[in-house]
Amino acid sequence: MDFQVVVLAGGNSKSLTPLVSKDVPKPLLPVANHPVLYYVLHQLEESNLKDLIVVVEGEDAGLLVGAWISGTFVDRLHVEIAAVPEDIGTAGALRAISHYLTAKDILVVSGDLVSDVSPGAVAATHRRHDAVVTATLCCVPISGSSESGSSGGKDKTKKPGRYNIIGLDPRKQFLLHIATGAEIEKDTRLQKHLLHAVGQMEIRSDLMDAHMYAFKRSVLQEVLDRKDTFQSLKQDVVPYLVRSQLKSEAVLSGIRQAEEDGNEKVSFPNNQVMVSQILANASTPSFHELYSMDADGSAQTRKTHKCCAYIASSSSYCVRLNSIQAFMDINRDVTGEADHLLSDNVIGPSPKLGTKTTVGPHCMLGEGSEMGDKCQVKRSVIGRHCRIGSHVKVVNSVVMNHVTIGDCCIIQGSVICSNVQLLERVVLKDCQVGAGFVVTAGSEYKGESLARKEK
């Protein structure tokens, strides 16, 4: 298909502290005992998109991620790891690796996306419409958009997510308007010539930007070069392309007419007809071309381009791991309603369970873990090689690898990172415990973040 795939995997995300660490960067955070990056790579492999550049923030994180990919996807994917500086944004990351991009079209996917939306279907839609950009849009989860970045709290309805305002043509193929982030706090302005041209524009606030985009490489590189202040694909690059897709040809058509008439002012008496014709011709192969030479080769005339949308079905699962709450939600979902994303067993090999210990539905117990007598596990994920004492209760929680939990502990709505020790009778509710932390016997915490100080 002549597509290159760029996976923006990230690095050490501040919104995920203390879950991330030097030893466990964001791409390796476990979702149902697989690194979150596994889910994107697996979907790409299923779509036969195997030529990948995985962009990681930081040299050390790049080495860790590269080692994991080599061991997991050996002989299955062709992956090049590109380490970039931290905090340069998604557009900055692509700008930093632009010399690697050589294919006609580029598929850019966020490495924290857990989804069953087919990247191959997005790529095929992009190629079919011959678009400059195709943005993947998914229905906002019932619990609210994960783009809000909230880090915790049981009642997610109290903090509304930051939604997108999307404008689509009547056939739901062309992306005509997009407002994201802080823009939504303001009055939304729509371009008159678009409204006149399409007659109807469907405005949607129930769609979430999935951070999976297909770009025409030449256009993407031109925008990144010319707009060197652009840092975000979602906030800067995509809205810029959407805003300019029809304006450029309409304006230049007016200018040419004005020049022929000897007038300095630009007027558009037939603007409605002209833009309608542009949309009607959107399926022609040359529609996306940004520039063409005049007949004598002396000047460049700017042409219009088109932006398209791939709208996933309402039954699709599509969530980004960009907050602690999202981390909890995804782990719960992948062992529950979205368990079709798992390719292995929920209960790992050789677990040892004590007498009268129960592991309820929508749970996962990792390889080599042991539990004592009369324990209860409900709607939780237990990692590999954990040692859990007797009379322990784990509910709505994620326990990572090599964790030791003493007798009579109660863990509810919490994340326990790798190599943590909870001594006996510890009670945790809505807490996050960073890697290697030791919680003393009899301690009780609610809504706390416990972590060792970085040296």
* pLDDT confidence of residue 261: 40
Let me know whether 220 and 98 are in one domain.
yes
Let me know whether 115 and 213 are in one domain.
yes
Mean pLDDT (10-residue bins), the chain, 455 residues: 89 90 94 96 94 95 96 92 94 95 96 96 94 92 48 41 75 85 57 62 87 96 93 93 68 38 38 45 45 46 74 93 95 91 68 91 92 96 96 98 98 97 98 96 96 75
* pLDDT confidence of residue 157: 39
What pTM does this model have? 0.83
| Structural domain harbouring 316 | 3-144+164-181+192-249+305-335
Identify the domain boundary among 335, 354, 379: 335
Let me know whether 231 and 376 are in one domain.
no
Tally of domains in the chain? 2
Let me know whether 177 and 321 are in one domain.
yes
Let me know whether 171 and 318 are in one domain.
yes
Let me know whether 310 and 374 are in one domain.
no
Rounded Cα distance, 149 and 320, in Å: 10
Task: Supply the CATH number for residue 438's domain.
Answer: 2.160.10.10
Let me know whether 116 and 204 are in one domain.
yes
Let me know whether 318 and 355 are in one domain.
no
Q: Does residue 158 lie in a domain region?
A: no
- Tell me, what amino acid is at 135? A
Do the Cβ atoms of 357 and 369 come closer than 8 Å? Answer: no
Task: Supply the CATH number for residue 237's domain.
Answer: 3.90.550.10
- How far, rounded to the nearest angstrom, does the alpha carbon of residue 12 sit from its chain's CA centroid? 15
* Ordered DSSP codes for 300-347: EEE----EEEEE--TT--EEE--SHHHHHHHHHHHTTTTGGG--S-SB
Q: Does residue 392 lie in a domain region?
A: yes
Do the Cβ atoms of 434 and 418 come closer than 8 Å? Answer: no
Let me know whether 40 and 170 are in one domain.
yes
Q: Does residue 152 lie in a domain region?
A: no
Question: Positive or negative, the Cα torsion across 147, 150, 152, 155?
Answer: negative
Q: Does residue 271 lie in a domain region?
A: no
* pLDDT confidence of residue 167: 87
